Amino acid sequence: MGGKAGGRSEVGGKAADKHAVLVGHGMVGHRFVETLRSRDATDQWAVTVLCEEELPAYDRVGLSSYVGSWDHRELALAGNDYVGDDFVTVHTGVRATSIDRATRTVATSDGRSVHYDALVLATGSYPFVPPVPGHDLDGCFVYRTLGDLDGIRVRADSAGPGAVGVVVGGGLLGLEAANALSLMGMSPHVVEFAPRLMPMQVDDGGGALLARLVTDLGVTVHTGVGTSSITETDTGVRVELSDGGVIDAALVVFSAGVRPQDTLARAGGLDIGDRGGVLTDSGCATADPAVYAIGECAAVEGRCYGLVAPGYATAEIVADRLLGGDATFPGADMSTKLKLMGVDVASFGDALANSEGALEVVLSDAAKGTYAKLVVSDDAKTLLGGILVGDASAYATLRPLVGRELPGDPAALISPTGEKIGAAALPDDAQVCSCNAVDKGTICSAIAGGACDIASVKACTDAGTTCGGCLPTIKSLLAASGVVLSKALCEHFSHSRSELYEIVAATGVRTFSGLVAKYGRGAGCDICKPVVASILASTSSDHILDGEAASLQDTNDHFLANIQKNGTYSVVPRMPGGECTPEQLIVIGEVARDFGLYTKVTGGQRIDMFGARVEQLPAIWKRLVDAGMESGQAYGKSLRTVKSCVGSSWCRYGVQDSVGMAVDLEKRYRGLRSPHKIKFGVSGCARECAEARGKDVGVIATESGWNLYVGGNGGQSPVHARLLASGLDDDTLVQYIDRYLMFYVRTADRLQRTAPWVESLDGGLEHLKAVVCDDSLGIAGELEAAMERHVAGYRDEWKGVLDDEAKLARFVSFVNAPGHEDPTVMFDESGARKVPVLMGMPSVPSGR
């Protein structure tokens, strides 16, 4: 990164005319830099960022997702290092200590003085810690940064599974903190001074249901009480409550709200709002025209806003002002939709019915665990606000109607049997994406301009790119605009892959010809034939080269080997968990030597042998199978490998037998045909040496059991797996993986990896959790039974070939001259490595 922290920035002969200093690099600060740089077409401004934390901008809203992975990269905001942008310089671990407005300089904690033409304060907020006696003991923490969570983790780990953790504060952040403690294996207690949880967002009815739902999830709730004192004990801390109750705990987390971080501004002589915060006008400028404030530290016209959406708005306003615009703060939508410990909670508009003459329409269903309230005008025609607990599916269409005339009876709008509002009924100026202030009209214009899927709409409008809560509405708008996304597999089948799977499973059709005759048309193609072949393989234990099925396979499956660039094939025996006996290693070496194969140890912990001619494959596999080895199925859309570290058997950090688990999992799921290849990783501790979070299924050992991660993969678009469940015993782990894999096999599209599949599910990861962990669809038994049939019916594919003369007959280069080798297969062995040579093309220099 280029740029000079002290003034005029010169890069490659170009110079920025002005220099902005940004103090703070949270989500809002990052949005400011992104917006300014994207709109600054002539590079007027260079930016220096002073980031007090050691890490650049990350997703603080998703803080609890850090628990389990303990990988800060997972929360890093895209582009937070501004690589390739020579007009942005970031200093991490550097704090602004003072402002000299007369000289327009900022002094920093590392001793430098940075000049500015514009100073943008994005210092955020700090946790409020009530002055409770004992609040500063070692066992007391706040919940604000990744560093805070690291400290809580150390204390929780030392206390052991099931230890009590007390959260002081039952608002949004308090419940997030309780969720984090639960994910760490602790037993959370939440202490809230108000008579209900989330007192700023929900009413008594919603709070009562919320308390019941989180109690069912293992949280002990104390409402209407305060914290009197905290004292140290031999095992942790003792928390005394105002009603005389006592909680013995391992730690206390204060999450009782935040205060704007305005210390730097106060010391610099800037005006402060009545309730704190750097006072600004509607353009986010302070009384000093060279100084601006954005995000939680800004008191815009006297009011601070604690949500990310209004923070983003202030960031974009200042970027616009620096480039000569006149943007002003439009007000803030303080609506919130969250999933707290698996419980949906939404609040929008005048949720607490503070408006004069407001009426409340309430539907509470204790049996189903749902609570819905609409606040309407005194004539019941205008929507003023609402609360949804337990089921917030109506939020996306109700929130944009705040302040507008209702399209029908308010009671019907929240009734399960009432008519639902469609996205098409929303007015064009209704805000669909509150995070990025995108209205329906903007989205519809993008669709009319050719944005015909979710990804295109996101790219054109930014809608759905932050919290994702508006994605269902965007899907509805796509449908309402006449965009029809074809589900057809190809021209021969109007069905999707998942529909064909259900047809095969339900009808018992076992041939492609029978399927296309009854449910398709034509003779099939290279798209539908392999798909149907995979479905047939995943719904039975028949050999994939039996009868008609052989003609359906692609080249790799046709010869049970991966074809290479010069027409030869690779041979990859399975090594479950990376284990291999000395005798098997000797056989591999002898085979490679005798057949002149190139050998390579792969990242999947097995040995690949390259350069086998098609007619050599049976002879090679005969020797491997006789040595007790089997196909590694490197050629198939199926389970490839289960990578493992050495685990507790050898490693001093290991807490579980990762090798044993990896071997068990690979043997259980070997041969499972699926929409795409599948890879596993099993790590014996949180140090993650098996790189499990880069896999479709990742298993990481903890002291309290296994953590299960899903939906990760490498490749062109790497995606880290996300936590599905934690603290699992061996049996539950396998049960959940059974359900997850069979649900994927059953519902994914053709050639869809698990990462995009999870994203494509309505509800994403939360829906998957409900299906796998809670059996929300009532199909868990069916999925488990399907997996048991696969396990019971597994047969090694290469052994099946060796035992069948008809199958062996296909392994020839020329069907009319079985004894002849293909003369076009050539190698260059002049260097350190044997490499394939393509006829008519120069060889690649070896040993490079």
Question: Which positions make up the binding site for siroheme?
Answer: 689
3-state secondary structure 187-215: EEEEEECCCCCCCCCCCHHHHHHHHHHHH
Residue tagged 């990760």 (tokens): 712
SS3 state of residue 275: coil
Other beta carbons within 10 Å of 79: 16
Helices 27-39 and 308-322 cross at an angle (nearest 10°) of 30
Comparing C-alpha atoms, which of 83, 35, 76, 33 is closest to residue 53?
76
CA distance 550 to 677: 20
CA distance 410 to 385: 11
CA distance 413 to 415: 6
CA distance 563 to 749: 25
CA distance 719 to 756: 9
Q: Which residues lie across from 639 on neighbouring strands?
A: 678
* Helix (H), strand (E) at residue 154: helix 146-159
Q: Which residue type is seen at 55?
A: L
Q: Residue 490, Cα to own-chain centre: how many angstroms?
A: 30
Reported as half-sphere exposure (CB side, CA atoms, 13 A), residue 458 has a value of 13
Positions at the binding site: 645, 651, 685, 689
CA distance 488 to 235: 62
Contact by Cβ (8 Å): 1, 90:
yes
Contact by Cβ (8 Å): 118, 18:
yes
Cα distances (angstroms) measured from residue 307 to each of 90, 148, 571, 706: 25, 20, 56, 35
Q: Residue 392, Cα to own-chain centre: how many angstroms?
A: 21
CA distance 547 to 527: 20
CA triple 118-124-125, angle to 5 deg: 145
Contact by Cβ (8 Å): 64, 179:
yes
Q: Which residues lie across from 14 on neighbouring strands?
A: 11
Residue tagged 């950090």 (tokens): 653
Residue tagged 């006696």 (tokens): 133
Could you list the beta-strand ranges (E) of 16-78.
Answer: 18-23, 45-51
Positions at the binding site for [4Fe-4S] cluster: 645, 651, 685, 689
Q: Give the DSSP letter string of 664-683.
A: HHHHHHTT-B-SS-EEEEEE
Contact by Cβ (8 Å): 292, 285:
yes
Contact by Cβ (8 Å): 101, 290:
yes
Other beta carbons within 10 Å of 828: 15
Other beta carbons within 10 Å of 16: 23
Helices (H), 657-728: 658-669
Q: Burial code of 174-192, b = ≥16 C-beta within 10 A, e = fewer?
A: bbbbbbbbbbbbbbbbbbb
Measure the CA dihedral 568/574/579/584, to 10°.
Answer: -70
* Helix (H), strand (E) at residue 345: strand 343-349
Q: Which residues, at least 6 apart from 485, have a Cβ–Cβ distance to it below 8 Å?
A: 452, 453, 478
Structure token digits, residue 704 = 């309290």
Other beta carbons within 10 Å of 269: 10
Contact by Cβ (8 Å): 467, 61:
yes
